Amino acid sequence: MKTPTIISSIFSRITLRLAVVLAVFFGLLVTSLILIPIQLSTITADSLKKLEDDHVRSAAILAVILSEPVWQITPEIAKQSSDVVFSNPNVSEIHVITLPDKKTFITNSRKNTQQGTFRTQSRLISHGEQVIGEVQLTFTEEIMRTEIRDNFYRAIFVTATSFLLSVICIYIVLQWRLVRPIKDLIEKSDLLANGELNEVISFDRKDEIGHLAVSLEATRQALQRSFNELEIKNQQLLEYSGTLESKVRQRTQELENANHHLEAALASVNSAQNELARIERMAALGSMVAGVAHELNTPLGNCLLVASTLSDETRQIGKTLTEGTMRRSDLSHYVDAATESSKLLMRGLQQAAQLVGDFKQVAVDQSSAQRRKFTLVVVFQELAALLHSSLRKTPFNLELDIPDDIELDSYPGPLGQVFSNLVNNAVVHGLDGMSQGYMRCMARRQADHVLIVFEDSGKGIPPNIIKRIFEPFFTTKFGKGGSGLGLSITFNIITNVLGGEIKVTSEPNQGARFEMSIPLVAPGNPEHAGQIIDT
């Protein structure tokens, strides 16, 4: 197994609670590793400055108080006067010499009992206008280093204690406000998945989890209504079938003496039964479409709510960063909100993708999410027909310029999703606010590849954002219906699923041009053509 696969497997097993705790833990750890050396450097600099000031001051005092004893040549008085300064534990040695003969006058020293770095300050001793001697004051840095080390250990202890208490508090709050409610929601969702629709889903909360519970309860009620309606319709169909069978028996009895009449009646009955079977299949498909549409409304609505909340949080953290008022709690709160929002978005989108994938499997074109051989113009014409209902409400035209002889052994479902995403992107962003415009899709075969070009006559893409349009969640209409996922999904499908590449060029007010080069035979084993491609 490859290393990235192992790492991905480990990350997928990490619970939400552990992920948030780890994020806070490493965030505080990195901050501490950055701040502790800075704090140690500051303490050391302050201590050295304090020691230097004390050294200079003490040397100046000695030069003053020793003036008279040196002048009168009284070493005993000089030694007594210097004992005041020598009592300072930082003083290592006091050495006084007379000038100009440079003879030692007094010496007080305890160097042999001290270790570490020593520093010496010299001051001239004057009496009146005459220089009569020199005092040399030596300080040791041993005591200062010991104090710095003790203060550093104390700071590390306080930081570690605060660190541990913060993690514990976050863990408790996370367990209380997030993990337990989510577990309850999962249990309720499992009941819905198993078809148990009688238990009411109720959470007395006003936050995102409360909104999610309300949406889940609305889903439960909608499913319950749908099942009740289906049961009523099935009963009606059974009653109609029973009535039809009764009429057939009566008709058979009346016409049993005439074989040709009986054959005509049997043919009519068979035709009616076939029509009933077709109607029943269409009714089931119609109910399924309505159910899928309603189911999609819930996760996509939740995703929109979460994205809006995350946008507000991002705007708030950006404001505090710009104003310079950001605190560690603000950043921690934002990380918690971003992590939770990302997971809720992924869960909602995965649910929506699963619903769409399930619908594809029972829809008319079941191969749309599978690998198969197909003609490019046929697939795009079908997609253009499906998009016609929405495009006819706009003043924009969609044109196709695709030869009939381009055949691919690839994945028409993901390729169709790329086409739909580009059309929607052009309508929502490029042509928004314009009274008229067009979209054109062209294709040309190039050796073993096909070049697909999609362009529009819209406003174009500004140069400052054109390099970011394929980034996930990047959109210029955040909060106005834009999710920022369309072009990101398009990029992933082209590069990862279809094995091609995509690039974009644009000029202001000249529209945008997307060029996609994909192989005629998609990468992978063609024998696996029946496998579903998760887009």
Q: What is the mean pLDDT of the chain?
A: 78
- Whether 528 shows a pLDDT value over 60: the answer reads no
Ramachandran quadrant class, 286 (left: phi over 0; alpha: psi -120 to 50; beta: rest): alpha
- For the segment 164-173, the average pLDDT, to the nearest whole number, is 80
Between residues 288 and 498, which one has the greater pLDDT? 498
- Most confident range (mean pLDDT) of 4-8, 307-311, 413-417, 517-521 is 517-521
Tokens of 254: 């009346």
- Whether 269 shows a pLDDT value over 80: the answer reads no
Contact (Cβ atoms closer than 8 angstroms) between residue 210 and residue 305: no
Of the listed ranges 93-97, 264-268, 395-399, the least confidently predicted one is 264-268
Q: How wide is the angle at C-alpha 305 spanned by C-alphas 304 and 311, nearest 5°?
A: 85
- For the segment 410-424, the average pLDDT, to the nearest whole number, is 88
Give the pLDDT of residue 284: 37
Residue in the block written with tokens 């400052």: 464
Of the listed ranges 244-253, 332-341, 415-424, the least confidently predicted one is 244-253
- For the segment 153-161, the average pLDDT, to the nearest whole number, is 82
Give the pLDDT of residue 455: 95
Tens digits of per-residue pLDDT, 291-334?
456 556 667 877 887 788 788 888 888 888 888 888 888 788 88
Between residues 191 and 490, which one has the greater pLDDT? 490
- Whether 347 shows a pLDDT value over 70: the answer reads yes
Give the pLDDT of residue 8: 63
Give the pLDDT of residue 495: 92
The percentage of residues in the chain with a pLDDT greater than 90, rounded to a whole number, is: 13
Q: How far is CA 169 from CA 173, 195, 273, 363, 502, in A?
A: 6, 39, 68, 51, 48
- Whether 481 shows a pLDDT value over 60: the answer reads no
pTM of the model: 0.35
Q: Alpha-carbon distance 54 to 366, whole Å?
A: 88
Give the pLDDT of residue 516: 95
> Please, what sign has the CA dihedral across residues 484, 486, 487, 491?
positive
Contact (Cβ atoms closer than 8 angstroms) between residue 22 and residue 14: yes
Q: Alpha-carbon distance 331 to 24, whole Å?
A: 10
pLDDT confidence band for 364 (50 / 70 / 90): very low
Give the pLDDT of residue 399: 92
Tens digits of per-residue pLDDT, 88-114?
888 888 889 988 888 888 888 888 887
Tokens of 363: 């829809």
Strand partners, 134: 97, 124
- For the segment 70-80, the average pLDDT, to the nearest whole number, is 85
Q: Which residues contact 490 (CB under 8 A, 6 or more apart)?
A: 417, 418, 421, 422, 470, 502
- Whether 206 shows a pLDDT value over 90: the answer reads no
Tokens of 178: 């997030």
One-character DSSP codes across 248-307: HHHHHHHTTT-HHHHHHHHHHHHHHHHHHHHHHHHHHHHHHHHHHHHHHHHHHHHHHHHH
- Whether 493 shows a pLDDT value over 70: the answer reads yes
Contact (Cβ atoms closer than 8 angstroms) between residue 131 and residue 99: yes
- For the segment 387-397, the average pLDDT, to the nearest whole number, is 81
Tens digits of per-residue pLDDT, 448-462?
999 999 999 999 988
- Whether 21 shows a pLDDT value over 80: the answer reads no
Give the pLDDT of residue 484: 63
